[in-house]
Amino acid sequence: MKRKISILGSTGSIGRQALEVIEKLGDKFDIIALTAGNNINLLNEQIKKFKPKYACASNMSLIDGAIPATLEEICSNKENDIILVAVSGKIGLKPTITAINNGIDIALANKETLVMAGDIVMPLAKEKGVKIVPVDSEHCAIHQCIKDIAQVDRLIITASGGPFLHKSIEDMKNATVEQALAHPRWNMGKKITVDSATLMNKGLEVIEAHHLFGMDYDRIKVVVHPQSVVHSAIEYVDGSVIAQLGLPSMHIPIQYAITYPERFEGIKSKSFSFSEIARLDFEEPDWDKFKALNIAYNAGKIGGSATVCMNAANEEAVFAFLEGKIRLFDIIDSVEEMMSKHSVSYNLSIDDIFDLDNEIRAKTREFLHVAV
């Protein structure tokens, strides 16, 4: 039987690769809806090719070939067996909540959903009997390794180290946008690539892992692995370590998430060869150079609104860096500044979270002297 899927963010990097996976799988899926922001031309090309019933975009009047529908309507549509949340930023949170409330399984590629509201999203999914399968290669790897979470002692999340792994702090301070975007292993969107350069991306993944797998922060370890072949690992209580390996390709975790618990041949970059890989290197993160990782750990341990504050400040600062208005290290300085002045609150509602998010963003722009 075909699985029915909607893709939120079909014109982004994950969304485009998801459509490649679906095309390769042939008749395994029916696409209910595709959504985009401003890339209407590509969305309309996708509509013409994949023929979804519904579509959503920032300008509904420009949609050609599908019925215009809001994200709320798409995520309330119980025709869906699964929804791939591949939008970036806070826009992914409310649609995810809507889909969960309607009993629709989630393939989650949106970090902010759990970083901002993991304490709301995961209990709600459990209450509604909804599966949340992670798309991030690291969390997907952990998901594949775990048989019984009660027997797991710790999670080991790998990090490539990004373009500045073996550069000095001075090199990072003076880095250009082009240098920050020159990731040695992964082809990703600009925001997530900058986060990978500062290792904030790994910090966000630590927070996600805490919520996805219910693991204490002290039992989540980050290790730098430049080859990006070991995507992550788990250590069981008896000391056995199980890792998931593969060549760097997002097609595989995307396919795993949308077809779970089944597996199909689908897209393979090429067969994995241990002899060609030859060596795998691992090292501790440089906590002085990559301060963002420690900031994220601390925010996660504090909990409540701390992660909302951190995420909002980081995102606004990354945008300013991409526009050439600040230096790379100013991102971390602004996050530290916002965190130092933030009074943490708990038991926030979704509306509270969005209000706080807007407030922190405005304060971050003011601190950086960046206009909206």
CATH number at residue 50: 3.40.50.720
Examine the fold and report which residue of 109, 134, 159 is the final residue of a domain before the chain moves on.
134
Q: Is residue 312 part of a domain?
A: no
C-alpha 208/C-alpha 196 separation (Å) is: 15
Tell me: do 27 and 97 sit in the same domain.
yes
Q: Which amino acid is at 194?
A: V
CB atoms within 10 A of CB 151: 12
Q: What is the pLDDT of residue 270?
A: 67
Cβ contacts of 251 within 8 Å, gap of 6 or more: 17, 20, 21, 266, 267, 268, 269
Q: Which amino acid is at 152?
A: V
Closest by alpha carbon to 267, among 43, 99, 19, 46? 19
Phi and psi dihedrals of 350, rounded to 5?
A: -60, -45
Examine the fold and report which residue of 134, 152, 180 is the final residue of a domain before the chain moves on.
134
Tell me: do 64 and 116 sit in the same domain.
yes
Angle of the 13-24 helix axis to the 251-259 helix axis, nearest 10? 70
C-alpha 8/C-alpha 181 separation (Å) is: 24
Tell me: do 143 and 130 sit in the same domain.
no
List, for the chain, all residue ranges whose pLDDT scores fall below the cut of 50. Answer: none
Q: What is the pLDDT of residue 48?
A: 98
Tell me: do 162 and 51 sit in the same domain.
no
Domain that holds residue 37: 3-134
CB atoms within 10 A of CB 129: 9
pTM for the complete prediction?
0.94
Q: What is the pLDDT of residue 102?
A: 98
Q: What is the pLDDT of residue 187?
A: 66
Pairing of strands 230-236, 3-8: unpaired
